[in-house]
Amino acid sequence: MESAELIALLHEVRDRVRARNPETAAGGVEIALPDLMPLAHSRDAALGKVAAIGTVNPRAGGVVNLLVQAWKRMISRVLDWHVREQVEFNRKSVACIDTAIEVMNDFNRALLALGNRMAEQDRLHAEFQELKDIRDHWAEWRFEWERKLQQNEMQFLRSVADLQSGFQHRATLMDANYRDAMRGQHTEFTGALERFSIDIQKRLWADLERIRLDYERLIYSELKTIRQRAAISGVSAPSASREETGAAPSLGFDYGRFAERFRGTEEYVKAGQQFYLNYFRACRNVLDIGCGRGEFLEMMKSAGISAKGIDLSQEAVDTCVHKKLDAEVADLFVYLENLPEASLDGIFCSQVVEHLPPDRLPEMVRLSASRLQRNGVLAIETPNPECLAIFATHFYLDPTHQRPVPHPLLAFYLEEFGMGNIEVRKLSPAADSMPSVQGLPEDFREAFFGGLDYAIVGKKL
């Protein structure tokens, strides 16, 4: 017999045994069923004894054994009529035991079915109790559920209100940020527009200044041509007499101490001359006529601009040399005459022209203009005769002053000798040194008590 068939046979025997002897764990309720295995073992032992009746015990082989076995079989046949009833009784007893085992197995199955039914009833009873409990508590549960539903609705409405308020706040913030951004962009736009407008205006004024300078150059060229033609034809203006000023006049007092007291300290003069730096910033070869103590030369040196000074005073030149400035004693007419034409790109002359005789001033302007390159700068500073306070305070304090020079006359001289783009700027307001003029009307004060000095600046055409 193969192993698979043997295994199948064993499974079949196991199933039959389980069907005849049900287990207590198969049911839904734990019921203590009687154990029938001892009864089955007794039945099997009785069956063994019944089967052994009439058999002979085995013995070792041999002649004696054959004789003994034959003797036993004969006696068994002789006694068969005597033990037949006992054998039948034994068989009926075994059959009774089998029937009892079957009945008990049926009884066990009935008990198991009863246990399952009782378990089902218990389950139904539990479900009934649960349904009864649900019914008893339904009203309470419903009230609690409605209360919780109401609370949830209130919380939901409160949350919706909070969300709405938050949304409104966010919308307000976004609107405010948008307005701030738009305001900032508008401010930036207006600022940029203003800057661009200022740049456009600056370029426009620069173009107008260039056009004006070209126009003045053209007028000067035409006037120069007319004068040359007039000179060729024999029509010319009488030449002014030249008064040589080879040396400084003897004053009989310390002029350096005089300048320190009445003109001001070097720091005061330097502060007043700072605005000239913008005019001479692009220059590379500047001449300071009447350099004095060298305030202008120091400013040029600090700005990295090459500058030289001339003065009639040996003391003033020694002061400049002591400051390591480039200066020498020279008469301005002789010095300018010896310079090549167009050899300078800047000339500065402060508080000098009022010391010159009136007939020498045009020559000084002519020589200065002729020694300038194209677009060279000429700056002249002198007391302002339009300011009445100058005559009551400073002008006549200096005994070397000849006469004041009005700025229209000096502007005419500049135009006459090829200078254009002329600017006039009033300096040292009289109200700073004479507070009493503050009580005058503003327009009158500006007209007759404006700047004690003025500066006139022109460019070579």
* pLDDT tens per residue, range 336-347: 999 999 899 999
- Average pLDDT on 44-52 reads 67
pLDDT at 56: 53
- Average pLDDT on 106-124 reads 80
Confidence of residue 302 (pLDDT cuts 50, 70, 90): very high
- Average pLDDT on 19-38 reads 57
pLDDT at 227: 63
> How big is the CA angle at 385 (ends 384 and 386), to the nearest 5 degrees?
90
Sequential DSSP letters for 250-291: P-SS-HHHHHHHHT--HHHHHHHTGGGHHHHTT-SSEEEET-
Give the DSSP H/E element, type plus range, for residue 428: strand 419-429
Q: Name the fold adopted by 256-460.
A: Rossmann fold (3.40.50)
Domain ranges of the chain: 18-55+62-124, 256-460
* pLDDT tens per residue, range 356-374: 999 999 999 999 999 999 9
Q: Where are the alpha helices (DSSP H) in 233-265?
A: 255-262
* pLDDT tens per residue, range 308-319: 999 998 888 988
d(CA 367, CA 335): 10
